[in-house]
Structure formats: structure tokens, C-alpha cells
Amino acid sequence: MRRTNTCGELRISDLGKKVCLQGWVRFSRDHGGVQFIDLADRYGITQVVFDPQDLPEGCDAKQLADVINTFTRECVISIDGIVRNRVEGTEDARNPTGQIEVLITGAELLNTCAIPPFEIGDQKEGVLPNEDTRLKYRYLDLRRTEMIQAMVFRSKLVHLARQYLEQNGFLEIETPILGRSTPEGARDYIVPSRVHPGTFYALPQSPQQFKQMLMVASMDRYYQVARCFRDEDSRKDRQPEFTQLDLEMSFVDMKDIQDMMEGLMAYIWKGLYGQELKTPFPHIAYRDAMERFGSDKPDMRYGLEFVKLTEVVKDAPYKIFQNILANNGIVAGINLKADIAGDKVGRNDVDRYIAYAKKVGLGGLTWMRCVNGQLESNIVKYFTPEILENIKKTMGAEEGDLLFIIAGPWKSTYEGGGFLRKKIAEDLGLVPENEFQFFWMDQCPMFEIDPVSGKYDAFHHPFVLPENDLDDDYVGGACFDLCLNGNELGSGSLRIHNAQKQIEVFHKLGLDDERIERNFGYFVEMLSYGAPPHGGIAIGIDRICAILLNKDSIRDVIAFPKNKRAVSLLDGSPSKVDDDKLEELQIISLAGEDLDLSEYEDSGSEE
């Protein structure tokens, strides 16, 4: 191998060393016949210099100059040279190689480069192009230092996870990519079978069923860095294909799984940052999280907690509240203290928040401000002095405080309030930077009930172990989420390991015996062959990397992601296939013209 060192490796201790560096020409500068080149690879940047007056004896300066003059931005070159000190006063303390440079004694152009569509180098004045341009030329975007660092970080995180799990007796076992389409979860990506016309495989949304089968197979500690696929709209934290760290364990309870995950996260933290991660993580019950923060994955690094007002205002002669309460709705409030809101939230801002509240599903937003010891608003006339005083007391309102009050059905109102809380915190700069708070969200329901149809849906998935009798008014599920800074990193649970209990849960979800047999017969049968008590968890690798690196989107930590519209601008997928391939598969396409990728660029913002 000709390369002796990387472009991020040489230091002052290497002075006088003869080296061969290979990489990309990031920048070049000609200072009176002396040419300076920033030579880059994924490890860093080294300044290499063509100095005709300082060449050692035997070097052909003209021949060397002719080669160097063929170099252009981002072309690939190889240089031989000698490590020397930089001229005093030209050292670059920001660059680990900034004390030295390499005097070029030999050079070769390994490959040319077309004019790049955007600037790759790290410049203060450099402005990145829009994301779709970067994704179209992702192989160039990945040369940027920020992207290289993200890929290195991700690789190290996964490596540390593997180390910890192997040390704790886990087996890394791959599960099938081609499997059966089942009705639970999001839409499947389906793959037609040529061998069996008219039938289809599905790409896995998760390895859920197969990892449970591994527990029946006595593989009591399993893990996998699993590729998963879901046909759903892209968001900042979602992609059609994504990666999760998948675990399953036999003969465990929920605490065993959570303890293992806390140990894993602490090991990763120590390996990434050299610091101890505080464990155990705190817990918050699902209902408590919703009623205090308006989210089942709340950001608890700042206050702005909701306060229940249903009992306080139940006798208020305010028709809007009375109609809501008559339909089993709730009323809750949030207090923007004077020291954080004060002059920052004026009347125009209140109107803006009212409009935003409607946008996120709230019917409206009531406000009151504490002025001269009294609550003032355009609606206080609908409340008795006693009720106003009780609101003030319950909310802890003091002079200058601004109260926002939400009302409506329990879940949708708290969810909308959670969005409002988050926006207020962001607007007022209340979200702390570089602070990470892990916690467990647990004590979850087994089912969610549609308020209109009365239909039961699984809160997590239909394989969660119920914690009490399925005929009880409320059924708890042995499930939990690991959360970080207002984001769900992953979900875990104990699983049903009894075939009859699994059938009963399917019945509760509205599946009859024929559908159970057709869609899950093989799975129920598996449970009848001595399935041990077991449970597990899966965390999103893309998501945790994005959070820890403070990225706005998981696309910034995935090498080749799809864009906001689930399109790969890099290779033009999805694309149509030749008719003869469809004919071989006995498939007829009813779609129209070819996909025009230009329609799927710059598609606007995401929620």
C-alpha cells in the first residue's frame, strides 16, 4: 500500500518523515509560485506545499509543476513528500495537523473531478445548497466533515452496542427480510414472487414475530441491528427504511429488560463521551405524562406543566366549557410565569398562539393574565369571582403571569396542548442545549378505544402481555417506552407466551377465528410449543444518533436516505420496471406516466 499516513494523522513528532498521502484536493492557493493544497480524506486535512525553491536535490521542479497544474478542486491525487514545520505565524490551531505541512517531492493525478455542484469544503462563508441537491449528490455530500463525523459517530455507537450485548451473552441472529404480510402496524412494502405467481412477500416492519420464535427456539438472548421497512409518509424522524437495535430475552420481567437497556446506554455513553451516564432512569406513567406534559414522550427538561382545572370550572356559567364537560371532556391550564413570558408574549403573540392551537387540533385557546392581583381576559365576565380566584390559586398565578387554558376530549386536547407547550418553549428559549434526559414511560394501557366506533386498537401491538383480565373496564399492558428529550427512542414489552391468551387478545381487537388462522395461525401454533415467558425492546439507531448529534432530521445520520417524499434522488427510485418483468410476475400496472422526480424536490416543510 503506497499511502503511509492519512490526512488527519501527522503531527509535530513526524518532522522529517518521508510520507505518501492520498486524497482529494479541497482547496489550493498560489502564493508567488509557492502552491498550497489542502489535501483531504475522511480522517482530516493536511496542508501540502509545492515550493520549487526548497525541493531536495534530484527533484525535477518543472515536471512536478506540470503535474500539479493539472490538479483541480476535488480531484484525487497522490503526493510524496517530507513533513516539515509550517512557517511561524501560519499555524492553524483549529486543525490537528495545523502545526505541520508536507513539502511535495512527487505527485500523481489519480483521477479528475467534474465541477462539483456545491462547495464541499468547510468555509465560514460557505452556504449549503438545499437538502434535495445534497441528496442527489450524496456521495459528494458525504465528503463534508459534518457528514463524515456523523457516519463515524454512528459506526462507533453500533460497535459499542454490539460489544456490550456480546459481553452479556446475547447472540446476533439475522431474521428474514422476505416474510409474510400481516394486518397489524403500518402499510407493508410488498414483493411479488415469480416462483409463485399472485403471491407476495412483505419486507419486515420489525423482526417482532421472528424474534419471539427465537425465544421458543431457546435462543434466550437475541439481538440484531435490523433493517426495517414501513410504507408511511416521511418525517424528520421517519424513513421508508430505517435501522433499529432489536433485543429479546427469555425468563425476564420488565425491570430486567430496562436494567439491561440502561446498562447498554451507559456503556455506549462512556464509550462515546468518556463520561458516566446517570442510572437508573426515572419513570413516568403514561397518564401522568399526558396530563402534565401533553405527550407520551414529553421533554421534561423544562417546566410548563399542565394543571387540571376540570373540577375548578365545572360550575362556571361558560357555555363552551359546560358543553365540553357534558361530553366527558377536560379543562387544563398552563402558566407562563412573568419572568419567562412577561413582555415577550403580548396580545399579538396570544392571537398567534390561538391560531396555532387550532392548527394542532385544539378547538381554541382561552387566556387570562394576572394584573393587579386579578385575572383579566375578554371572557372573565363568564366566571364568578370565586371561580376566578380558585383558578388563580390552582394555577399558582402571580402578578404578570399569563394563563393558557385548553378544553376538549381527554386525549386530543392533551396532545394538542403538548404541541402548544413545545412551541412556547422553543419560542421563549426554554429548551436547554446539550442536556440529555433519558426516562421510561410506562403503566400504559393495553388498548385504545375509538370514541366513535368503540373499536379496540392495540396501544403498542397485539403481542403485548395484558396485566389484568381482558374483560375489565381498564386493561393495562406490560409495555413501556424509552424516551430522550421529548423523543421516543424505542418501545419494549413483555410478550404473550400463551397461545389461548394470544387468541383472546386477537378477539378483543375484532379478529374472528378465520382471520386469526389465516394471518397468524403459524404464530399462535408456535406459542403452543413451550414458549417461555419473554420480552424485549427495539430502539431506533437513526433517531438516537440524530438526537445525540443535535440534527434536525434522521436523514442527516443515514448515508443514503430518501427525501421528504420518500424518493431517492440519487438513483431515481422508485422507478417503473420493464413490462417484460411485470409480465413474468403476472402483474398489471394501472399507474400512468413515469415518475417525474422534479415534482418531488423541494417539497416544503415537515411536521
Q: Is the confidence at residue 302, as pLDDT, over 90?
A: yes
Note the helical H segments in 337-439: 347-359, 385-395, 410-427
Contact residues for 200 (Cβ-Cβ < 8 A; gap 6+): 181, 190, 191, 192, 193
Q: What is the pLDDT of residue 237?
A: 76
What cell does 184 get? 397489524
Q: Is the confidence at residue 1, as pLDDT, over 80?
A: no
Spatial distance between the Cα atoms of 191 and 328, rounded to a whole number of angstroms: 46
Q: Is the confidence at residue 490, as pLDDT, over 80?
A: yes
Pinpoint the residues of the chain covered by CATH 2.40.50.140.
Answer: 12-111
Task: Give how far Cα 105 sits from Cα of 28, 58, 109, 149, 180, Å.
Answer: 17, 10, 14, 31, 62
DSSP of 236-282: TTB-SEEEEEEEEEES--HHHHHHHHHHHHHHHHHHHHSSPPP-SPP
Q: Which fold does the domain 302-427 belong to in CATH?
A: Gyrase A; domain 2 (3.30.1360)
Mean pLDDT to the nearest integer, 62-75 = 95
* 238-290 pLDDT per residue, tens: 899 999 999 999 999 999 999 999 999 999 999 999 999 999 999 999 999 99
Q: What is the pLDDT of residue 459?
A: 92
Look at 18-32, 65-79, 225-239, 267-281 and tell me which has the smallest mean pLDDT: 225-239
Q: What is the pLDDT of residue 449?
A: 86
Spatial distance between the Cα atoms of 419 and 583, rounded to a whole number of angstroms: 49
Per CATH, the homologous superfamily of domain 148-270+438-554 is: Bira Bifunctional Protein; Domain 2 (3.30.930.10)
Spatial distance between the Cα atoms of 41 and 22, rounded to a whole number of angstroms: 8
Q: Is the confidence at residue 342, as pLDDT, over 90?
A: no
Q: Is the confidence at residue 126, as pLDDT, over 90?
A: no
Q: What is the pLDDT of residue 527?
A: 97
Place of cell 439475522: 174
| pLDDT band of 601, cuts 50, 70, 90 | low
What cell does 448 get? 385504545
What cell does 383 get? 366566571
Q: What is the pLDDT of residue 343?
A: 79
Q: What is the pLDDT of residue 606?
A: 55
Contact residues for 518 (Cβ-Cβ < 8 A; gap 6+): none
Percent of the residues in the chain that have a pLDDT greater than 90, as a whole number: 85
Q: Is the confidence at residue 433, as pLDDT, over 90?
A: no
Orientation of helix 513-527 relative to helix 208-216, angle to 10°: 40
Pinpoint the residues of the chain covered by CATH 3.30.930.10.
Answer: 148-270+438-554
| pLDDT band of 125, cuts 50, 70, 90 | low
Q: What is the pLDDT of residue 522?
A: 95
Place of cell 385557546: 365
Mean pLDDT to the nearest integer, 333-356 = 91
Mean pLDDT to the nearest integer, 39-52 = 96
Spatial contact of 298 and 418, defined as CB atoms under 8 Å apart:
yes
* 391-428 pLDDT per residue, tens: 999 999 999 999 999 999 999 999 999 999 999 999 99
| pLDDT band of 143, cuts 50, 70, 90 | very high
DSSP of 356-380: HHHHTT-S--EEEEEETTEEE-TTG
* 153-192 pLDDT per residue, tens: 999 999 999 999 999 999 999 999 999 998 766 789 999 9
Identify the CA nearest to 234 among candidates 326, 123, 369, 131: 131
Amino acid identity, residue 479?
C
DSSP of 539-602: EEHHHHHHHHTT-S-GGGGSSS---TTS-BTTTTBS----HHHHHHHT------SPP-GGGGSS
Q: What is the pLDDT of residue 297?
A: 95
User: Tell me: domain 12-111, CATH 2.40.50.140, correct?
Assistant: yes
Identify the CA nearest to 485 among candidates 540, 552, 417, 548: 548
Task: Give how far Cα 179 sits from Cα of 54, 204, 225, 278, 581, Å.
Answer: 66, 7, 17, 40, 21
Q: Pairing between strand 487-494 and 534-540?
A: antiparallel
Cβ neighbours of 382 (radius 10 Å):
18
* 352-372 pLDDT per residue, tens: 999 999 999 998 999 999 999
Cβ neighbours of 240 (radius 10 Å):
19
* 500-548 pLDDT per residue, tens: 999 999 999 999 999 999 999 999 999 999 999 999 999 999 999 999 9
DSSP of 135-191: HHTHHHHTTSHHHHHHHHHHHHHHHHHHHHHHHTT-EE----SSB---SSSSBPPEE
Amino acid identity, residue 49?
V
Q: Is the confidence at residue 607, as pLDDT, over 60?
A: no
User: What average pLDDT is seen over the chain?
Assistant: 93
Pinpoint the residues of the chain covered by CATH 3.30.1360.30.
Answer: 302-427
Q: What is the pLDDT of residue 602?
A: 55
β-partners of residue 464 are 495
| pLDDT band of 233, cuts 50, 70, 90 | confident
Contact residues for 287 (Cβ-Cβ < 8 A; gap 6+): 443
Q: Is the confidence at residue 315, as pLDDT, over 70?
A: yes
Spatial distance between the Cα atoms of 384 and 116, rounded to a whole number of angstroms: 69
Averaging pLDDT over each range in 123-127, 245-249, 345-349, which range is the top one? 245-249
